[in-house]
Structure 1
Amino acid sequence: MLAYERYLALYASFAGEAGAGHPVEVSLEQLAGALFCSSRNVKLVLRKLIDDGFIEWHAGRGRGNRSQITFLFDKAAKLLEIAKELARKGEYKRAFELIEHFGAGTEARERFVAWLNGHFGYRRLQTNDAEASDILCLPVYKPILTLDPKELYYSFSAHMVKQLFDTLVEYDRETGKLVPSLAHAWTHDENGMEWTFHLRKGIRFHHGREMSAADVVYTLDRLRGSRASEWFVRSVVGAEAVGQRTVRITLAKPNWLFPRFLGSPALSIVPHDLAERDERFWSHPVGTGPFRFEAWTEDRFMMRANAEYFKGRAHLDGIVIVIMPGGTIAYSKSWEQLLMKEEPGEMQPKDDWEQKEFICNGCAMLTWNMRKDGPQRSAAFRKAVDLLVDRGRMVEELGEDRIYAASGFHPEERLDRLPDRSDHELAASLLLASGYDGSEIAIGTYGLHEMDARWLQRTLADYGVAVAVRLESFESIREPGVLEEVDCLLYCVVFDEDDVSLIELYEQTGNFLREHMDESLLAWTSEQVEAALGCKRAEDRSRYLSAIENRLRDETHVLFLLHKKQNTFYNPNIKGVGLNSLGWIDFKDIWLGEDEPLAGNAG
């Protein structure tokens, strides 16, 4: 225990109403009990606190004369000072733990977060040389679970992977076309079963070695055995380096979407020499991307600009991602600099700030577990629940980032088809027909989806459907047994690239939707996917993929609930602010003009 912790512990135990600056009578035995140490050790602690200027101590002389301790600093003020110092060192988690432990009855937490808000944003830091460093410091309220491209399940981890790595090609959502990236050109045979990619010259990994065809072959091979990403290479029967900068890939069956597979973050190209021999590679990854890895702790993640990036150096010099405790978002209301509003919650930007609103390419939905016995196995029961959920009322009552009802995966579908209105009378008859006996169903969820789950719990209870909410974390939701034990799962899907991301829902082992499908539906879905991949024309592929979505909706295997929006509020002096398909700021393009200083920068 450090000196300031001992001070706060003793203050909490003995200062009482007297507070700082007033002597309090106490015995060595009492102090030792409060610090869980011996009387001998407590004398050493007292000496340290005196030397550091925390307390004054007057030892009692003679029998019956008690000692006196005077606390020289108010607890809340000292706690706030210590928390700020820890935050400046990047020890954010420790700062919040300290406030949580010692801040009861004070406004320390609210005051600390108010100060911390000014600590975030775009900062221009003067270094030893003449050149200043432009740093973007952003808070997030979820952890980075992995930086290994082949293990991606969540959009935030995928976004961070895209900062460090590149893929052979990229999908341009605005034009609907593939564009070159690490590969400058590619060809295919007439059947869509052999694909050849030609790599750019001179692209170097962050450790200095030039990327080669061997790295591409290794990247494809290492996906074998991955739960999250093996489906991408399931039909690959051969990948070979044809010289230093050409790769030929042979498939077992036609796949006209295969180049778009190669634009997925899961297919980010990794250096074979480092990944093969270094077991710690994924805790300090090396790619070709716009930013280089610098540090990763439970508090923060740091990157520096890749000065040799082949698409042009980032304007920023560095990025600091601060992993905030989940309970702090409610206090984050007054941001003084650029902030990505990644999670819902009230926000009050300055009047002259600009806002970018982004409708997430995806939806909030509920999947029924068809591999478990229970009421959900009945189509009548599932349809009844669907009819009981008034999505419009859900949006109105919960508000925040919820924007309108969903009838399918993609937001644009609302223009073609509105969700059915809730029908309580029909729902009641379907519940009766299903034989539902009032037994409890368990909704599993995690993170901020809890609000939606609790709303469903209250709403369905009004109609006799008993619901228990099983709240998990991002990590625990995937632990063995959790998906199998819940009757349904409430979560959001976010699509980076429409067709490929949609197929991923159906084909990725461990994906929530796939894990809840029964065997017959899985087999049929796989047939539809294979037929879609064999179609050269996009409209023909769409017919097969739409059939899957329609069946999921019509048979209520999925309850499409809501579409959501995200906002970025930012200082108008900051340029290049844009949101990518994952709903995150594109870090590479942000900049601040030389003649446009930021007012009120916090250290």
Structure 2
Amino acid sequence: MQAVQAERYLTLMQRFAEEAGAGTPVEVTLDELAQALYCTARNAKLVLRRMEEDGWIVWQPGRGRGNRSRIEFRMEREALALDIAKALAGQGSYKQAFALLHRFGGGTPVKERFNEWLTLHFGYRSETGEDARRVDMLRLPIHVPLVTMDPAEVYFAFDAHIIRQLFDRLVAYDAKAGQVVPSLAHAWECSADATAWQFHLRRGVIFHTGHELMADDVVYTLERLRKGRSNSWLLRGVAAVEAAGPRTVKVTLAKPNRIFHRFMCSTAASILPREPLQRDEEAYWRRPSGTGPFMIQAWDEERLVLDAHPGYFNGRAHLDGVVIAIVPSGEGIDSEHCWEQLVLAHDARDQQRDQSWAKLESLLQGCSLMTWNRNKPGPQQSQSFRRAVDLLLDRSLMLRELGENRMYAARSFRPDAHSALRHVRSDAGQAETLLREAGYDGTPFTLYTRRWHERDAKWIQARCAAFGVRMDIRLMEGDECRDLNVLGEADAILYSLVFAEDEVCEIETYEQTGSFLNAHMDPALLAWAKGRIDLAVASETPEQRRFLLEEMEDRLREETQVTFLLHKRSNTTYKPELKGIALSPLGWIDFKDVWVRYGGGTAEQGQASERAEAVR
């Protein structure tokens, strides 16, 4: 109610006292006030009475015919807008807070002041819960909307990260050790020819709904995944899935796959609860539940609130909860701040980074790239044209001019030991020769991308224009990027790939329905690639698999099906009191193991350590 009244007050002040400001009476009629509030004169009187009772205005109604009324606004516009925006943000209504500031804060520093406050609002802090206990919470702003929480439809890294907080897989991949480790399954085995796999489930694994994980849940999940889902590719070689006992699942394959257990590490293979999905799937996805370390407490278009799962089989999270605020793009914290990078013990009086802060940096296993649509008419149908654009894009120049988290020139999906030294060739002279060879007549090609790649897209556009190649940019919004019709309209798509599970993610890039590469590949090339994938997964040694996968990558490069651009890094800077910080392969901070070491300082320092800031 307070926010509604504040919006009415600000509306009237903006309309009738924009120049006079607070403290100066202005003449106005009741009808004019009612018109500004889009209500009747009777309702306008009720609004004025409430504002007067709260001390916001002084209202002097006109006496007699022809006498105008007077209204004096007592509250300063900036202060009120800031207070109400803070209150809305505190309630989780971030979009409403930004909308209010956008409408009433123009021409004032109120938006900048709100951004400063918002920066301190986010981060790690201890709070008093409803039962008066101290709870440790992590508040994080994001500009990336959640597209889906359905593992069978997951495509983007942020979606995958959230899904991994809610769900578990049969097994997990330990990237450091380079091996598959137990998760929901405590043991597994496969036949000598790698066509039959069995997974043995742990006892006592509890879903957020309270029931125990059984083989039927796994069978239901995998059968659901097999049927027309974006990630059905994961089970392309599966002939049958069955329960071989209450806690044993048997998977029979049509062809050998010696890394099928690696496939089961994929986010898409996250295990779902059978009963609630069969009862009402639509209702289930409004508040999905799994076996993961966190469970959903609230979820709407403005925020996602996660509570720690107290019965998590792999150890309860140290955090009590996580609040993820969906902040409108271009609003809120500025581009200098990034939610996955946390600073503990931020004190507003001392905003300089201390030399004692720890720094964690990781080179992402992936790259930014452009994929060319070989399935529609346009200049990109010519390989000479595609090669010309590749040669025009000087990666070294791109790195110097764009900087930030861009690290090395890319000539393949993932970086290697030589990436820092590698120079990817650019040659404007040869590019111009190839454009003539292609018969390029100045027809523009359209590059599709998402908003967070817009800066890279504009650099590419300017670089192409300098050599007479016209390019239009089209930003994909929301889940447009999963619409096959939209993808089919693009001449090229600019995006980034991040591999969570090395070889399996690489295979996914080719096979996933709705993958940009899959949607744009020449059909003959795609059929050839799938044949090579079958050979790779049947290979008896990692070296054989790597050879076949690199052969596929080489052909992508030779045919200029894709233009590899840059490798990027993810980094985190944080106070040493904040423990358990680790970047997942997807480039996000894993929530489960984050904790704070209390003690060892004064009371004032202890209070400061409960404040945090999200920074880049």
After TM superposition, give the deviation of residue 491 of structure 1 in Å.
Answer: 0.5
* 2:226 maps to 1:188: no
Partner SS state of residue 411, structure 1: coil
Q: Which runs of 4+ in 1 moved over 6 A?
A: 334-338
Pair 334,325 (structure 1): closer, same or farther in 2 beyond 3 Å: closer
- Partner residue of 1:281? 284
| Whole-angstrom CA distance in 2 between matches of 1:201 and 1:337 | 34
- Partner residue of 2:34? 32
| Whole-angstrom CA distance in 2 between matches of 1:457 and 1:103 | 34
Quick one: which of 314, 319, 338 aligns to 2:317? 314
* Aligned pairs, number: 597
Pair 441,332 (structure 1): closer, same or farther in 2 beyond 3 Å: closer
- Partner residue of 1:344? none
Matches within 5 A, 1:235-314: 235-279=237-281, 280-314=283-317
- Partner residue of 1:148? 150
* 2:333 maps to 1:326: no
The letter of the residue matching 2:58 is E
The letter of the residue matching 1:519 is P
* 2:165 maps to 1:163: yes
| Whole-angstrom CA distance in 1 between matches of 2:163 and 2:149 | 6
- Partner residue of 1:522? 526
Partner SS state of residue 481, structure 1: helix
Larger deviation, residues 42-51 vs 183-192: 42-51
- Partner residue of 2:120? 118
The letter of the residue matching 1:400 is E
Can you list the C-alpha shifts for 1:111-131, whole angstroms capped at 9, x where unaligned? 111101111111111236564
Q: Which TM-score applies when normalising by structure 2? A: 0.93
After TM superposition, give the deviation of residue 337 of structure 1 in Å.
Answer: 12
- Partner residue of 2:48? 46
Asked whether the equivalents of residues 407 and 419 of structure 1 are also in contact (C-alpha less than 8 Å), the reply is no
Partner SS state of residue 20, structure 1: coil
| Whole-angstrom CA distance in 1 between matches of 2:211 and 2:443 | 61
After TM superposition, give the deviation of residue 601 of structure 1 in Å.
Answer: 4.4
Matches within 5 A, 1:294-443: 294-328=297-331, 331=334, 333=336, 339=342, 350-351=353-354, 352-412=356-416, 414-415=418-419, 418-443=422-447
Quick one: which of 23, 42, 59 aligns to 1:57? 59
Pair 336,72 (structure 1): closer, same or farther in 2 beyond 3 Å: farther
Asked whether the equivalents of residues 122 and 135 of structure 1 are also in contact (C-alpha less than 8 Å), the reply is yes
| Whole-angstrom CA distance in 2 between matches of 1:482 and 1:414 | 37
Quick one: which of 87, 90, 94 aligns to 2:89? 87
Quick one: which of 541, 549, 553 aligns to 1:549? 553
Can you list the C-alpha shifts for 1:530-549, whole angstroms capped at 9, x where unaligned? 11111121110111111111
Asked whether the equivalents of residues 117 and 335 of structure 1 are also in contact (C-alpha less than 8 Å), the reply is no
The letter of the residue matching 2:22 is A
* 2:603 maps to 1:599: no
Asked whether the equivalents of residues 334 and 349 of structure 1 are also in contact (C-alpha less than 8 Å), the reply is no
Asked whether the equivalents of residues 155 and 494 of structure 1 are also in contact (C-alpha less than 8 Å), the reply is yes
After TM superposition, give the deviation of residue 38 of structure 1 in Å.
Answer: 3.0
- Partner residue of 2:449? 445
Quick one: which of 7, 10, 13 aligns to 1:11? 13
Quick one: which of 477, 480, 487 aligns to 1:483? 487
Q: Which TM-score applies when normalising by structure 1? A: 0.95
| Whole-angstrom CA distance in 1 between matches of 2:411 and 2:84 | 50
Partner SS state of residue 355, structure 1: strand
Pair 393,329 (structure 1): closer, same or farther in 2 beyond 3 Å: farther
After TM superposition, give the deviation of residue 261 of structure 1 in Å.
Answer: 0.7
Partner SS state of residue 364, structure 1: strand
Pair 289,599 (structure 1): closer, same or farther in 2 beyond 3 Å: same
After TM superposition, give the deviation of residue 338 of structure 1 in Å.
Answer: 6.5
Can you list the C-alpha shifts for 1:275-309, whole angstroms capped at 9, x where unaligned? 11123112211211111221111111111111221
Asked whether the equivalents of residues 465 and 471 of structure 2 are also in contact (C-alpha less than 8 Å), the reply is yes
Partner SS state of residue 242, structure 1: strand
The letter of the residue matching 1:293 is I
Can you list the C-alpha shifts for 1:556-589, whole angstroms capped at 9, x where unaligned? 1111011111222222211111111011111111
- Partner residue of 1:579? 583
Task: Specify every segment of 5 or more residues in structure 2 that has no aligned partner in the other structure, as ranges.
Answer: 345-350, 601-605
Partner SS state of residue 122, structure 1: strand
- Relative contact order higher in (CA < 8 Å, ≥ 6 apart): 2
Pair 12,329 (structure 1): closer, same or farther in 2 beyond 3 Å: closer
The letter of the residue matching 1:586 is D
Asked whether the equivalents of residues 114 and 332 of structure 1 are also in contact (C-alpha less than 8 Å), the reply is no
The letter of the residue matching 2:581 is V
Asked whether the equivalents of residues 367 and 496 of structure 2 are also in contact (C-alpha less than 8 Å), the reply is yes
Partner SS state of residue 492, structure 1: strand
RMSD: 2.1
Pair 127,411 (structure 1): closer, same or farther in 2 beyond 3 Å: same
| Whole-angstrom CA distance in 1 between matches of 2:189 and 2:522 | 39
| Whole-angstrom CA distance in 2 between matches of 1:340 and 1:529 | 43
Larger deviation, residues 271-280 vs 417-426: 417-426
- Partner residue of 2:139? 137
Asked whether the equivalents of residues 123 and 611 of structure 2 are also in contact (C-alpha less than 8 Å), the reply is no
| Whole-angstrom CA distance in 1 between matches of 2:113 and 2:366 | 36
Pair 469,329 (structure 1): closer, same or farther in 2 beyond 3 Å: farther
After TM superposition, give the deviation of residue 406 of structure 1 in Å.
Answer: 0.9
After TM superposition, give the deviation of residue 63 of structure 1 in Å.
Answer: 3.1
The letter of the residue matching 2:276 is L
The letter of the residue matching 1:309 is Y
The letter of the residue matching 2:403 is G
- Partner residue of 1:467? 471
After TM superposition, give the deviation of residue 33 of structure 1 in Å.
Answer: 2.5
After TM superposition, give the deviation of residue 204 of structure 1 in Å.
Answer: 1.2
- Partner residue of 1:70? 72
| Whole-angstrom CA distance in 2 between matches of 1:93 and 1:432 | 50
The letter of the residue matching 2:483 is E
Can you list the C-alpha shifts for 1:86-109, whole angstroms capped at 9, x where unaligned? 111111111111111111111121
- Partner residue of 2:347? none
Partner SS state of residue 588, structure 1: coil
After TM superposition, give the deviation of residue 192 of structure 1 in Å.
Answer: 0.5
Larger deviation, residues 39-48 vs 521-530: 39-48
Pair 329,255 (structure 1): closer, same or farther in 2 beyond 3 Å: farther
* 2:578 maps to 1:569: no
- Partner residue of 1:534? 538
After TM superposition, give the deviation of residue 414 of structure 1 in Å.
Answer: 4.1
The letter of the residue matching 1:444 is Y
Task: Specify every segment of 5 or more residues in structure 1 that has no aligned partner in the other structure, as ranges.
Answer: 342-347
Partner SS state of residue 453, structure 1: helix
| Whole-angstrom CA distance in 1 between matches of 2:69 and 2:294 | 59
